[in-house]
Chains A and B, each alone.
Chain A
Amino acid sequence: MNDPVPHEVLARVVREHAGRLAASLVSLLGDFSAAEDLVQDAIEVALQRWPVEGVPDRPDAWLFTVARRRGLDVLRRESNYRAKLAQLQWPVPPRPDERLRLIFTCCHPALSRSAQIALTLRVVCGLSTAQIAAGFVVPETTVAQRITRAKKKIAEAGIPYRVPTPEDLPGRLREVLAVIYLLFNEGYLSSTAERAQGRDLVDDAEWLATLLAGLAPDEPEVSGLLALIRLHRARGAARFDTGGRLILLPDQDRSLWDRDAIQAASTLLIRTGRRHHRPGPYQVQAAIVACHAEAQRWEDTDWAQIAVLYDMLLYLAPSPVTRLHRAIALQYVKGPEAALAELMDLVDVLKHYPLLHAAHAELLRTLGRPQEAREADERALELTANPAQQALLEERLSWT
């Protein structure tokens, strides 16, 4: 018997092939839902057998064969599908990568955000319903319902299986990027906990961004998002101490950062900017993260540059959360008083946002107002559900 196949290897192989198989079956059958069921079935079988038998030499051919055989069984009543499937032989004739159509269908704006995310993970990345449920800490039945409902809507509302027209493309691309970004955030912010079945949503997010960058090379925001994800990941090793506690940026051990990965992501960002001259929110966010990542020490951080980038981000995508981040940066450029004044403007709109209170506490502490700082930290603690943030705030409260 072979050694058990590690989860990461399984995840990688499934991710590489599930979407391709789904894309070609949707094209062949003209039925998104039926194709997706076949692929999901094949993956279930693979996840049972590969850990024991080892990954086959041609995982794509293996999945294809299982999906086809299963399809011929299941679709007995649908003579139309059956005839089409029966004609299908391996190897499938090469055709352009159709996963882009798949991604746009899964992220169609007529689907709810949670449905877009679940569907993308399942159809494009090949996650099982159980893996998605574990990643988002929701019951498996909830995920199953979301997917069933979404597939029904695709079929019955006539959501097309194609890349949007050039006229629709910018808006539709924003939708896809938002899905990948949320997926990344979800995985990144909750990355302390041991993930069930070894599936890391951050891996999936980076993989999706890489795939999209390959399929849509003329869209600078895709590369911007990819650079953003990579710049965060390059510093992942320094984010937690050995006890799993969150370490804030000023206190991180920067020798743990992956300097080569930071360099590569910065280069990608610069090259994207030079080639397209079309800045967008993801490129600017990545540039801000690059400013932090390129500083050798906390004291070397180029805050003036960061403040300018936040101004640009506010111009491109105004939001109170961005204003808050700008206010935090401002304390290192114009001092804590100026930052506090900015922050006070946001107290009303962001009163339910834990970071506002945590940042408020820090400013008050810097300004020598410990009692008010404590109260702000307590409010932040009440509002956050993230265990790592809770631990950090509790620790801070125990010092003061």
Chain B
Amino acid sequence: MKYVLMFIETEQFAKELQAMGELERDAAFEAVGRWFAENADKITHHTRLAPVHTATTMRLHGDSEPVITDGPFVEGKEVVSGFAEIEVADLDEALKVARSWPACPVVEIRPAS
């Protein structure tokens, strides 16, 4: 089955990342790189999103003009920061891949097609 893991950053996590020294931050990025390498046989795609302040949202209203706003579609303390698409047997395997994710603290797992 195909699943998408959505990586979700919290405000707290973003602050911690900012507060890190260069060495620490390098180590954190390395851990992420290792995770991608270790799961390379399952990951079919992945995308890292630019920070949320770059987001633009468009709401489409049929025939009338779309409404364009600055910012993400929901304002909140938790924002999606990236995606990985994986191909595994079932939800338990998807959960296992997600469990070893070394970075941001929330991962949503959703079946995809």
Measured CA separation A384–B92 after assembly (Å)? 39
Which B residues are in CB contact (< 8 Å) with A214? none
Q: Does A385 contact B (CB under 8 A)?
A: no
Q: Are B111 and A164 in contact (CB-based, < 8 A)?
A: no
Interface 9-mer from A25-33, A77-85, A154-162: A154-162
Q: Are B92 and A157 in contact (CB-based, < 8 A)?
A: no
Q: Does A110 contact B (CB under 8 A)?
A: yes
Chain B, residues 82-95, CB within 8 Å of chain A (1/0): the string is 00000001111011
Q: Does B1 contact A (CB under 8 A)?
A: yes
Chain B, residues 73-113, CB within 8 Å of chain A (1/0): the string is 00000000000000001111011100000000000001100
Q: Give the residues from 1 to 34 in chain B that come closer than 8 angstroms, CB to CB, to chain A.
A: 1, 3
Q: Which residue of B lies closest to A108 (CB)?
A: B91
Which B residues are in CB contact (< 8 Å) with A108? 91
Shortest Cβ gap from B61 to chain A (Å) = 30
Q: Are B89 and A160 in contact (CB-based, < 8 A)?
A: yes
Q: Which residue of B lies closest to A156 (CB)?
A: B111
Measured CA separation A115–B1 after assembly (Å)? 23
Measured CA separation A158–B111 after assembly (Å)? 8
Measured CA separation A168–B91 after assembly (Å)? 13
Shortest Cβ gap from B38 to chain A (Å) = 16
- Contact-residue bracket for chain A: 10 to 19
Measured CA separation A165–B93 after assembly (Å)? 10
Which B residues are in CB contact (< 8 Å) with A168? 92, 96
Measured CA separation A160–B3 after assembly (Å)? 14
Measured CA separation A73–B96 after assembly (Å)? 40
Shortest Cβ gap from A347 to chain B (Å) = 29
Measured CA separation A160–B89 after assembly (Å)? 9
Measured CA separation A108–B109 after assembly (Å)? 15
Measured CA separation A98–B30 after assembly (Å)? 44
Shortest Cβ gap from A30 to chain B (Å) = 12
Shortest Cβ gap from A195 to chain B (Å) = 35
Which A residues are in CB contact (< 8 Å) with B94? 158
Q: Which of B92, B110, B111 contacts A160 (CB 8 A)?
A: B92
Q: Which residue of B lies closest to A155 (CB)?
A: B111
Q: Which residue of B lies closest to A168 (CB)?
A: B92
Give A contacts to B, CB under 8 Å.
108, 110, 156-160, 164-165, 168
What 10 additional pairs, Cβ within 8 angstroms, besides A160-B89, A160-B91?
A108-B91, A157-B91, A157-B110, A157-B111, A158-B1, A158-B3, A158-B94, A159-B91, A159-B92, A168-B96
Would you list 10 pairs from A and B whose C-beta atoms are within 8 A, ordered by A residue? A108-B91, A110-B95, A158-B1, A158-B91, A159-B92, A160-B89, A160-B90, A160-B91, A165-B92, A168-B92
